Structure 1
């Protein structure tokens, strides 16, 4: 793979979902590579803190509180980029939501919300950004999908459905934009230690669902250091890689799915049987911080994930 050192130097980037977690780390890494960066997220106070943190490192950044699912979001974001920095060179579609629970506890609106956030919002923003990206000599589009966009893990069905769609959109865009100069990179991460278990929403039996998800998102053998992931993502985008799969577990799962899809399906079915049932009265939309208080999971299990969450701007689980 040819290297492109400094290809992002002096360029302008927009990163959605960048007030915390992986989005914040990608924005920081882009700034370290010489980019001017516009941050975007719904949480205005978290966004202000993120902007302050990056400015303190010498980064040239600005921010715009914005819900990417709003119809006006693409216009507002591109206008902010132009006002602060000029034409856009790099778009990172990272904003996402995680809903955890069995199918019986989910509503149709959960799927619609996931699709709006992780498919239609990136689509609208990409279409709005393409005129800038086509005229840039470093036009780059990055879609942060998930290994869940290749393998639909149980109890994450709205998330997996939306990530399948976003991965397909990104791969299709790379083909459609071939020869235009716009590079498209699809990122398929596994679990990363960002504190995402505190930002997820839990359904069914929230405490029990939090227990397995928080443990998986915090333990070293199952999850990846998010700073290392951000470096790998920016490096892949700078080198125009078509796809990046992150974490050893995700790479193994993708390979298994490719060579033995029936076996993979049977394994997922067995996993589903070990996960919590919906309960007699399934609950809906419980926050991660509240679900943590209902969980029997020993706090020591999530130490690494909680520590990462405090570093990268996630809410603290409080138990």
Structure 2
């Protein structure tokens, strides 16, 4: 067993090898960018080869002296994840930092999503994080710098969010996994950080999938995710996440709204549940389409209703983030790939 290493807040990430899953766009891409800014050798992993190619090109343009690799990987596939770490370790001389970020977002009433939707969320979000963690830990234990693992949860995993229940359930499991692995891995010199972001302006509304009254679901989700007073600049979030990993923090909750929700749920769970119930009156009903479609297909070409005009105004910053963070480039054929 490796000798336990002291957890020092000042440890540098310079020259370390990092793996980021879900790294082809949005928050994962920004985390990879931040790691490269701190002189890490980065391996990006995601399912979509075209997105990965664009992401790698973006990072090489920003960091011409940096080191970035890409690896097409489905984190639901244990063998594919094992191959990812074996190849990253061989190419970079080991693995020191791992960020498990892969996920999906389904926005619809629970009965519209159905059990298959919950299975999909658990498969990608929880089992993806589990596969990544268990395959990463042997390499992190061997790290001369003391390995660092971060699991990206969500405020949605700290309290249930209506019309996001598959996501909430899976993220709650990720949070439990992170805390348990922290307790079990610290003696081996490996730190585990549970990250619970609130809403961030990443452009993820275009890749979330929507069911039921799709246009209304898209309207509320995209507008809320783009409101400055509620959501957070994604680049600033990535900086804080990487800093927390560098300093080996156990837990990070991002955005004031998320921290408030976390504390309120901890202190008054019944009141919080009742307030959550009250908000469902503002959400669409379960009537509508059962097939889930990505936001980039649901987004109206030109706002027609008052609600759509408000959404367009409220999510302007999020729409801009989508263009910058590799969220708006998939072709129609790519969008319908599993």
**TM-score for the superposition, normalised by structure 1:** 0.95
C-alpha contact (below 8 Å) 2:113/2:290 kept by paired residues: no
Which runs of 5 or more structure 1 residues have no equivalent in the other structure? none
Q: Find the residue that maps to 1:95 and give its secondary structure.
A: coil
Matched, 1:191 2:199: yes
- In structure 2, what is the equivalent of residue 202 of structure 1? 210
Note the C-alpha offset of 1:288: 0.3
- In structure 2, what is the equivalent of residue 50 of structure 1? 55
Q: Find the residue that maps to 1:179 and give its secondary structure.
A: helix
**The one of 285, 290, 305 aligned to 1:277:** 285
- In structure 1, what is the equivalent of residue 102 of structure 2? 95
Which runs of 5 or more structure 2 residues have no equivalent in the other structure? 1-6, 331-338
Deviations 1:26-84 (A, max 9, x none): 00101111110000111111111111111122321000111111232222211220232
Q: Find the residue that maps to 1:276 and give its secondary structure.
A: coil
- In structure 1, what is the equivalent of residue 248 of structure 2? 240
- In structure 2, what is the equivalent of residue 309 of structure 1? 322
Q: Find the residue that maps to 2:187 and give its secondary structure.
A: coil
Aligned length: 316
C-alpha contact (below 8 Å) 2:74/2:81 kept by paired residues: no
Matched, 1:132 2:139: yes
Deviations 1:256-309 (A, max 9, x none): 111111110000000112210022x43321110122128741222221000011
**The one of 9, 29, 37 aligned to 1:4:** 9
**The one of 16, 19, 22 aligned to 1:17:** 22
C-alpha contact (below 8 Å) 1:306/1:316 kept by paired residues: no
- In structure 2, what is the equivalent of residue 250 of structure 1? 258
Matched, 1:116 2:111: no
- In structure 2, what is the equivalent of residue 159 of structure 1? 167
- Taking the aligned partners of 1:79 and 1:234, their CA distance within structure 2 comes to 23
Deviations 1:187-230 (A, max 9, x none): 00001000011110001110010010000111101110000000
Which is further off, 72-81 or 18-27?
Answer: 72-81
- In structure 1, what is the equivalent of residue 296 of structure 2? 289
Measured on the aligned residues, the alpha-carbon RMSD in Å equals: 1.7
- Taking the aligned partners of 2:139 and 2:23, their CA distance within structure 1 comes to 21
Q: Find the residue that maps to 2:188 and give its secondary structure.
A: coil
